[in-house]
Structure 1
Amino acid sequence: MSETPTRILIAVDGSNESLNVVRYVGASAQPAGTEVVLYTVLSKIPETFWDSGKDSLWGPKIEAARKWEKRQLDHAVGTINSAFQILTEHGFPPAQVTTKISPQLEGVARDIIAEARRQYDILVIGRGKSASMQDQVLGSVASKVIGSGPAPAIWLVGAKPISDRVLIAMDHSASALKVVRHGATVLNRKTNSITLFHAIRGIAAISPPEMADIFPRSYQEQLIRDAERDMQPVILQAEALLNELDIAPDRIATRIATGVRSRAASIIDEAQKEGCGTIVVGRRGVTEVSDFSMGRVTNKLVQLAKEQALCIVG
């Protein structure tokens, strides 16, 4: 019996940035056993366009609205066709790629969220054009979508992160191996090199700096040794899982950073140092606080990973 295919929804907004998102999926995802839907929401004409009501220019206004809608549809069709071609050029069979252009119903973000909840495994979205502004981490649509968590996994793609090197950020939570499996099976395991990475904070990171010297150095070092010891069985299980999934041992590396102040910053530093274009992380870590849609580390990574693709696994 064949396995159920992985269903990926890619939000395409007609911009060059969204085509970069499609290029990332084409270069990074596993074509075999994957179905992709390219999805575009056609925005409504702004309400301010109708504010003056049925005035003497009503006729020309209607004509202008029709031209605007046709131009928007033509642009959307051209962009989504380009996206289709990008995927097929990367080896995705045309029968596995579907295009869908829908008129806006409730709002662009809400419509993407509603579509993503229709039995997709992965939602892929770019950071948004406004994210290039100095004070913006995400565009408004991406921010709303990420916060809602409408799919089991969300890929947030920034810049042009095409790379065959993947960093999987690990902890000792119950979902750690699920994150590893996602990174190894959905991403292209025929070419990818994988780094299993874990960061251990030091006393100085969890206490005010002036309080750190209260703890003897021997105690601080023992805490780190204990944390490394507790993590080793999880890493061994992850390596065994990767071997079962036909990832060659010479394409697997493990790294534990100790005494770091910020786990999220250390993940970014390691990804940059190793040239990893993709970071895979769990949506929530060990604490699993239900009041928050994402854990602290993942939330910080959303802010920091502007040059990488961030795969958030729920």
Structure 2
Amino acid sequence: MSEEKKILVTLDGSKRSGRTVDYLCRFKPFRDRKITLFNITTPVPEAYYDLIRDSFSKIAVSQVNAWEMGRKTIMTEFLKEARRKMIAAGYKSDNIELKLTSLEKGVARDILNEIKTNEYHGLVIRRRGSSESMPGVTMGGVAAKLVEKASSLPLMIAGTHEIHHYLCIAVDGSPASGRAIHYTADMMAKTNCRILLCAIMRTTVTDSVPEGKDPFVDMSLQAKRILDEALAEAKQILTQAGIPEDRIETRLIQGAQSRAGALLDKARAAKCDTIVMGRKGVSDVEDFDLGRIPKKIIYASRKFTIWLIP
């Protein structure tokens, strides 16, 4: 991955994407990264231009042309204003690129193509955009497709919680969880952020329980040891990155009926603003691009910012 560590940010000119810009301005670690503000404009269907053959439709065609040019002008100004806000918030002007392209295959597919043809260190999106404002819908169509398919790089789903740089990291001992910890350590290195390392198990067991009498208890003890070791290793990785030890808290939650629910409850109680997870857990089923627990958390947490690490 490139040392420039570029982050792709999708914006559509809506009020919601304006809140994405606010998130970028408030989240201090991004200020040292190269940012590409990206928009895909939807052109007028080519069928409209067939009207030019009809002399009675020339006025309509000119109006359509004007609309298309006007839309590009509006989006260009929106991106420039976003850039101005980010510079005022502390970003270097040379680190912000504006990229405006026309729709080719579809919004989600064009974003995925942009990822494939360029080297990015992360993708920032919102749950819904300007055309996806149906009340009660948690995730818009484009966002849902990107959550499922943008599996090659870290995905950040910007939330609405006030940013206090307090991150809750789901720890389960899996390779994806380890990569999430390393990514967080890289992003938050030498900052005064707060980190909550949270591991969850369904059973309840203590180290004082004797082994060898009940296979179920033995399995629970082994699971607990794995999670304890994973929490200790995660804390070490973060402290080595320069995050003060007293800013890192570890929690092992036992007896959880729902691991996704328990993680959300703990993050809410601690007043974290961001939840960090690996895309897949311990099971790591190859046929699925997204694990069951991350999917539940994404759809149940409208206000949290979610980091999803491959």
Structure 1-normalised TM-score? 0.86
Q: Using the alignment, how far apart are the partners of 2:62 and 2:226 within structure 1? A: 68
Aligned to 1:212: none
Deviations 1:132-178 (A, max 9, x none): 53442211111112211254111112334523110011111123222
Deviations 1:270-311 (A, max 9, x none): 111111111110011111111100011111122112101110
Q: Using the alignment, how far apart are the partners of 1:29 and 1:153 within structure 2? A: 18
Aligned to 1:306: 302
Q: Using the alignment, how far apart are the partners of 1:264 and 1:143 within structure 2? A: 19
3-state DSSP of counterpart to 2:196? strand
Contact 1:41 1:103 in 2 (8 A): yes
Superposition map of 1:107-256 within 5 A: 107-117=106-116, 118-129=118-129, 133-149=134-150, 151-187=152-188, 189-202=190-203, 224-256=220-252
The alpha carbon displacement at 1:230 in A equals 1.9
Aligned to 1:290: 286
Percent identity, please: 26
Superposition map of 1:54-65 within 5 A: 54-55=53-54, 57-65=56-64
Aligned to 2:263: 267
Aligned to 1:85: 84
Letter in 2 for 1:66: N
Aligned to 2:16: 17
3-state DSSP of counterpart to 2:39? strand
Contact 1:281 1:311 in 2 (8 A): yes
Deviations 1:233-276 (A, max 9, x none): 11111111111111111110011111111111111111111111
Question: Measured at CA, do residues 186 and 57 of structure 1 come closer, stay the same or move farther in structure 2, by a change above 3 Å?
Answer: farther
Question: Measured at CA, do residues 79 and 151 of structure 1 come closer, stay the same or move farther in structure 2, by a change above 3 Å?
Answer: farther
Letter in 2 for 1:25: L
Aligned to 1:208: none
Contact 2:25 2:85 in 1 (8 A): yes
3-state DSSP of counterpart to 1:30? helix
The alpha carbon displacement at 1:113 in A equals 1.1
Q: Using the alignment, how far apart are the partners of 2:60 and 2:99 within structure 1? A: 29
3-state DSSP of counterpart to 1:109? helix
Contact 1:113 1:150 in 2 (8 A): no
The alpha carbon displacement at 1:26 in A equals 2.9
Structure 1 stretch displaced more, 173-182 or 253-262: 173-182
Question: Measured at CA, do residues 284 and 150 of structure 1 come closer, stay the same or move farther in structure 2, by a change above 3 Å?
Answer: closer
Question: Measured at CA, do residues 202 and 61 of structure 1 come closer, stay the same or move farther in structure 2, by a change above 3 Å?
Answer: farther
Question: Measured at CA, do residues 128 and 32 of structure 1 come closer, stay the same or move farther in structure 2, by a change above 3 Å?
Answer: closer
Q: Using the alignment, how far apart are the partners of 2:56 and 2:218 within structure 1? A: 78
Q: Using the alignment, how far apart are the partners of 1:58 and 1:194 within structure 2? A: 62
Deviations 1:86-114 (A, max 9, x none): 32222211111111111112121111111
Structure 1 stretch displaced more, 32-41 or 126-135: 126-135
Contact 1:161 1:307 in 2 (8 A): no
The alpha carbon displacement at 1:39 in A equals 0.5
Superposition map of 1:29-68 within 5 A: 29-31=28-30, 33-46=32-45, 54-55=53-54, 57-68=56-67
Contact 1:278 1:310 in 2 (8 A): yes
Q: Using the alignment, how far apart are the partners of 1:45 and 1:150 within structure 2? A: 31
Contact 2:24 2:30 in 1 (8 A): no
Question: Measured at CA, do residues 286 and 51 of structure 1 come closer, stay the same or move farther in structure 2, by a change above 3 Å?
Answer: farther
Q: Using the alignment, how far apart are the partners of 1:85 and 1:42 within structure 2? A: 21
Q: Using the alignment, how far apart are the partners of 1:75 and 1:202 within structure 2? A: 55
3-state DSSP of counterpart to 2:73? helix
Letter in 2 for 1:15: S
Q: Which runs of 5+ in 1 are unaligned?
A: 204-217
3-state DSSP of counterpart to 1:10? strand
Letter in 1 for 2:89: H
Deviations 1:161-205 (A, max 9, x none): 5231100111111232221121222247513100001111249xx
Contact 1:30 1:189 in 2 (8 A): no
Aligned to 2:209: none
Letter in 1 for 2:140: G
Question: Measured at CA, do residues 174 and 66 of structure 1 come closer, stay the same or move farther in structure 2, by a change above 3 Å?
Answer: same
Question: Measured at CA, do residues 187 and 74 of structure 1 come closer, stay the same or move farther in structure 2, by a change above 3 Å?
Answer: farther
Q: Using the alignment, how far apart are the partners of 1:290 and 1:29 within structure 2? A: 35
3-state DSSP of counterpart to 1:195? strand
Q: Which runs of 5+ in 2 are unaligned?
A: 205-213
The alpha carbon displacement at 1:36 in A equals 0.7
Q: Using the alignment, how far apart are the partners of 1:294 and 1:45 within structure 2? A: 35
